[in-house]
């Protein structure tokens, strides 16, 4: 690379300067501005030199190197690499033509499920029907180019909805374009498409993204090749709903003239187990995590303290504080923390034993991709033990399709018959999973209680297990009060299923935190065994891997803005931080607006942070009003949404006066709170259903009505 040319060309300098000097000398304005002192003369000379330097920059001096653009050129699109250059196009129609694809499978995903489904569908399109399908992240292409997809191709959309009917982050471009399709009357007469949505019916706007997109496409003249379908995660049916939908998609392919072929297993990765033992394996998070504007990097945080919040009972609720130490991690009040758990010792051992790989669990595991589109789920090299412990969701349930696919590798004819029967009978599989927690290891043991699955390829195991994902918690500390400590409020979850010999599903991350806290379990169910990383300086002696995710669940800038806080159970976590900040502002003499807090739980024994709430109430006086709801207190059941209904007039009065309202807890609770308030405003203000919706939407758009809820 040549150095930048910063030498002076005197002849060119003279050519440029002489006309300027001549013009200045003959200027009548300059004649009247003769300097009256030496200082004025020096200042005037400096002014002339500065102006001259500005005018001649880039022509006489500081010329840009002719090769300067190479600094900003991607190596893969450098001149001469025309193949890679074509891949960089953001026009989806061009990409389909260049790659000789027959269809595109767009995915919009927040947690990775839609992305995984899209990749699986792409592989099956090719293997079963010979259809070349481009699996495309929606953010990699300009949404406007969808309009130029010709009738010779078709598009498949897999779109997730999360939160309050929000699109995933990578769907932002499509979302904006869809609005323009509606507003500008864009025509899509050539577009043929199929759409599938992922959502949760516990949320008010169930699968809203699917419906908004599909309605817009239909309205613009696009042709739906089959009716839109939805997955519902409210009862964990997402995978089964997806499988039923793909059955319909394959039927559609057959009706379009594509011939279905019988397929054999074709791995997308190659897995080799080295004879050497890998001495150390770095414990890092799965490669699914990407640092971004909304997500920090993942760092180890020391547990500084932990305490139990429930007074009595058979459940645990932890308050844990993590020290940010010297890390670059920062947070703001209302943000979320993502905790990266590890899988329990018992589950790791069960899967390795079932696969018959005890002897090589610490050997080096090398993984390479067989195609350009397959993304790495785990680092390489690693070990089988590390992969199963820290990188793959081995405690998650497996689908009926997985049972069907595994049958070809069964160690005995009897095991194969069991798997085929389960895989081909949806009702039977649903009956089994309603009573038994079917992980991959337990499915293998169910089919073959004694024989090991030594012929089951490790590539198949890794491909069919999800990457281990973080679990998110609302941060229950204030960044103003404790900027270098993050507090977590975590209910330890253990779900009991009927009729199972081992009927408990232990919450992975909550039990992981309970184990790390070294607190005693209040449950009769033993806490699973986890392998923790020790930290000598930590009070609790362990660290957890975590990252911070930004949230819009923020306090108003002005402390005098009134607040309505509605929560149930651990949904109170962010409100603890809110109250701490308001109490601090009040203590230093800042004006604080009225706070109306609704809190619901089972009974007084589950009343978390009761002492802290009472202390803050004594500090704020009549500025804080607390309304409680106990659902199991010996009398009539009372839920937080019932209390909101009883006090709806006060809530509406505060909202009309400019209050901000926040709801945190389960999505079903938030949906019922919405209903109570909408009923009340309809009666009080004599509004129609449409007018009530406009009223609520207006508050939400202005940030006056926010929800932080989960399924």
Q: What is the mean pLDDT of residues 619-646?
A: 93
Span of 20-29, 469-478, 513-522, 571-580 with lowest mean pLDDT: 20-29
**Longest pairwise C-alpha distance within the chain:** 109
Q: How many CB atoms lie within 10 A of CB 337?
A: 25
pLDDT 10s digits, 430-445: 888 888 889 999 999 9
Strand 223-224 and strand 192-199: the pairing is parallel
With contact defined as beta carbons under 8 Å apart, do 208 and 174 qualify? no
User: Quick one: DSSP state of residue 670?
Assistant: H
What value, to the nearest 5°, has the Cα angle with vertex 636 and ends 635 and 641?
130
Band of residue 687 on the pLDDT scale cut at 50, 70, 90: very high
Strand 660-666 and strand 299-308: the pairing is unpaired
End-to-end CA distance of the chain: give it in Å, rounded: 56
* Burial of residue 531, with CB atoms counted within 10 A of its CB: 0-12 exposed, 13-18 middle, 19 or more buried: middle
Strand 471-474 and strand 336-340: the pairing is antiparallel
- Region of 300 please: left (phi>0), alpha (psi -120 to 50) or beta: beta
pLDDT 10s digits, 128-141: 899 999 999 999 99
User: Comparing C-alpha atoms, which of 509, 458, 466 is closest to residue 352?
Assistant: 458
612 pLDDT more than 90: yes
Between CA 482 and CA 642 the distance in angstroms is: 34
Percent of the chain with pLDDT over 70: 84
Q: Residue for token digits 């005197």?
A: 10
Band of residue 165 on the pLDDT scale cut at 50, 70, 90: confident
Strand partners, 627: 598
Structure tokens at 183: 């507003």
Q: What is the mean pLDDT of residues 578-591?
A: 97
pLDDT 10s digits, 32-78: 555 566 666 656 666 767 766 666 655 555 554 444 333 333 333 33
With contact defined as beta carbons under 8 Å apart, do 172 and 136 qualify? no
Instruction: Compute the Cα dihedral for 700, 703, 705, 707 and give only its sign.
Output: positive
pLDDT 10s digits, 534-560: 654 544 568 999 999 999 999 999 999
Could you give the 3-state DSSP secondary structure of residue 158? strand
List strand residue ranges (DSSP E) for 138-243, in order. Answer: 154-162, 166-167, 192-199, 223-224, 229-232
279 pLDDT more than 90: no
Band of residue 12 on the pLDDT scale cut at 50, 70, 90: very low
Between CA 271 and CA 405 the distance in angstroms is: 19
With contact defined as beta carbons under 8 Å apart, do 451 and 415 qualify? yes
pLDDT 10s digits, 230-243: 999 887 788 889 98
Band of residue 285 on the pLDDT scale cut at 50, 70, 90: low
Strand partners, 708: 664
Q: What is the mean pLDDT of residues 339-364?
A: 95
Structure tokens at 532: 């923790």
- Which 3-state string (H, E, C) describes 624-636? EEEEEEECCCCCC
| pLDDT score of 84 | 41
Peptide bond into 381 cis (omega under 30): yes
297 pLDDT more than 60: yes
Structure tokens at 466: 């999800």
Q: How many CB atoms lie within 10 A of CB 82?
A: 8
* pTM of the full structure: 0.77
11 pLDDT more than 60: no
Q: How many CB atoms lie within 10 A of CB 7?
A: 8
Band of residue 205 on the pLDDT scale cut at 50, 70, 90: confident
264 pLDDT more than 90: no
Structure tokens at 2: 């040549």
Between CA 44 and CA 225 the distance in angstroms is: 76
User: Quick one: DSSP state of residue 557?
Assistant: S
65, 135, 144, 536 from 62: Cα distances, Å: 9, 47, 41, 56
User: Comparing C-alpha atoms, which of 153, 159, 36, 160 is closest to residue 94?
Assistant: 153
Strand 563-568 and strand 595-601: the pairing is parallel
Percent of the chain with pLDDT over 90: 65
Band of residue 710 on the pLDDT scale cut at 50, 70, 90: confident
Task: For residue 127, report the phi and psi dihedrals to the nearest 5 degrees.
Answer: -70, -40
Between CA 249 and CA 118 the distance in angstroms is: 13
Q: What is the mean pLDDT of residues 289-304?
A: 86
Between CA 486 and CA 332 the distance in angstroms is: 10
- Higher pLDDT residue, 118 or 711? 118
């Amino acid at each position: 690379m040549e150095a930048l040319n910063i030498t002076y060309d005197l002849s060119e300098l003279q050519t440029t300067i002489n006309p300027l000097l001549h013009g200045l000398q003959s200027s009548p304005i300059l004649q009247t501005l003769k300097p009256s002192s030496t200082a004025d003369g020096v200042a005037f000379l400096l002014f002339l030199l500065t102006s001259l330097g500005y005018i001649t920059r880039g022509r006489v001096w500081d010329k840009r190197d002719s090769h300067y653009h190479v600094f900003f050129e991607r190596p893969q699109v450098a001149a001469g690499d025309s193949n890679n250059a074509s891949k960089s196009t953001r026009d989806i129609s061009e990409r389909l033509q260049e790659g000789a694809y027959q269809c595109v499978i767009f995915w919009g995903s927040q947690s990775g499920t839609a992305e995984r489904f899209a990749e699986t569908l792409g592989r099956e399109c090719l293997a079963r029907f010979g259809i070349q399908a481009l699996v495309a992240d929606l953010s990699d292409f300009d949404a406007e180019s969808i309009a130029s997809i010709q009738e010779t191709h078709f598009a498949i959309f897999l779109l997730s909805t999360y939160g309050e009917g929000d699109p995933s982050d990578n769907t932002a471009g499509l979302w904006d374009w869809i609005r323009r399709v509606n507003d500008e009357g864009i025509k899509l007469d050539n577009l043929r498409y199929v759409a599938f949505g992922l959502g949760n019916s516990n949320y008010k706007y169930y699968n809203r993204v699917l419906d908004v997109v599909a309605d817009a496409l239909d309205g613009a003249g696009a042709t739906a090749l089959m009716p839109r379908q939805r997955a519902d995660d409210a009862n964990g049916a997402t995978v089964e709903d997806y499988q039923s939908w793909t059955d319909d998609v394959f039927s559609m392919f057959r009706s379009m003239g594509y011939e279905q072929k019988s397929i054999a297993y074709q791995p997308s990765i190659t897995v080799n187990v080295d004879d050497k033992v890998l001495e150390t394996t770095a414990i890092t998070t799965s490669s699914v995590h990407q640092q971004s504007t909304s997500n920090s990097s993942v760092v180890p945080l020391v547990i500084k303290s932990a305490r139990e919040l429930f007074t009595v009972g058979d459940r645990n609720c932890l308050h844990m504080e993590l020290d940010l130490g010297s890390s670059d991690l920062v947070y703001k009040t209302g943000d979320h923390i993502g905790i990266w758990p590890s899988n329990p010792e018992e589950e790791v051992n069960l899967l390795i034993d079932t696969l018959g790989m005890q002897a090589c669990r610490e050997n080096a595991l090398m993984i390479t991709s067989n195609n350009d589109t397959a993304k790495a789920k785990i680092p390489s090299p690693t070990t089988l033990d590390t992969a199963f412990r820290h990188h793959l969701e081995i405690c998650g349930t497996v689908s009926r399709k997985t049972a069907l696919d595994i049958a070809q590798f069964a160690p005995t004819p009897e095991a194969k018959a069991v798997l085929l029967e389960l895989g081909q009978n949806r009702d039977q599989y649903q009956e089994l999973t309603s009573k038994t927690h079917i992980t991959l290891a337990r499915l293998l043991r169910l089919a073959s209680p004694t024989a090991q699955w030594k012929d089951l390829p490790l590539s198949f195991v890794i491909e069919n297990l999800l990457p281990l994902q973080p679990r998110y918690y609302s941060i229950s500390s204030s960044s103003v009060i404790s900027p270098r400590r993050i507090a977590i409020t975590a209910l330890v979850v253990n779900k009991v299923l009927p009729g199972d010999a081992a009927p408990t599903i232990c919450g992975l991350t909550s039990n992981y935190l309970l184990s790390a806290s070294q607190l005693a379990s209040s449950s009769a169910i033993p806490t699973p065994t986890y392998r923790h990383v020790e930290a000598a300086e930590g009070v609790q002696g362990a660290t957890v891997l975590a990252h911070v995710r930004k949230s819009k669940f923020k306090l108003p800038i002005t402390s005098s803005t009134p607040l309505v806080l509605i929560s149930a159970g651990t949904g109170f976590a962010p409100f603890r931080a809110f109250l701490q900040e308001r109490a601090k502002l009040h203590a230093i003499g800042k004006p604080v607006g009225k706070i109306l807090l609704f809190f619901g739980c089972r009974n007084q024994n589950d009343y978390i942070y009761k002492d802290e709430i009472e202390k803050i109430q004594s500090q704020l006086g009549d500025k804080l009003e607390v309304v409680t709801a106990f659902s199991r207190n010996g009398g009539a059941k009372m839920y937080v949404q019932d209390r909101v209904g009883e006090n709806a007039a006060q809530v509406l009065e505060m909202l009309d006066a400019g209050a901000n309202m926040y709801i945190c807890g389960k999505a079903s609770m938030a949906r019922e709170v919405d209903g109570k308030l909408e009923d009340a405003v309809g009666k009080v203000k004599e509004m129609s259903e449409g007018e009530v919706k406009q009223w609520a939407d207006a508050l939400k758009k202005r940030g006056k009505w926010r929800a932080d809820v989960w399924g």
